[in-house]
Amino acid sequence: MILAAVLLAVASGIGNRWFQAGRGIARLTSYVAIGSAVTIKVIGISMVLLSSGFALLPWLMVLTFIVVPFSVAAASGRRTLATC
């Protein structure tokens, strides 16, 4: 999913600059970015639940390095959908 999001982001940048790809590519890129963000967050939280239970350090790490950055990516995708 992450590879698809990166490829779509590159395609939308090149497509909109030289080929007039339009908003369809931007919408598709937003949907894939939101899907990737949700999937990665669910996988990260599930891995911490299965491995450590309720220890504090793994939860702080998953919050800092997975939940917050991918929430920002999902919010960016939502903003793109709102403008398209």
Q: List strand residue ranges (DSSP E) for 1-84, in order.
A: none
The amino acid at 29: T
pLDDT at 19: 72
Rounded to the nearest 10°, the torsion over CA 67, 73, 75, 78 is: -140
**17 or 80, higher pLDDT:** 80
- The C-alpha atoms of residue 50 and residue 62 are separated, in whole angstroms, by 13
CB contact set of 5 (below 8 Å; sequence gap of 6+): 29, 32, 33, 36
pLDDT at 70: 95
pTM beyond cutoff 0.95: no
The pLDDT tens digits of the residues spanning 14-62 come to 766 677 777 888 888 889 889 999 999 999 999 999 997 778 998 999 9
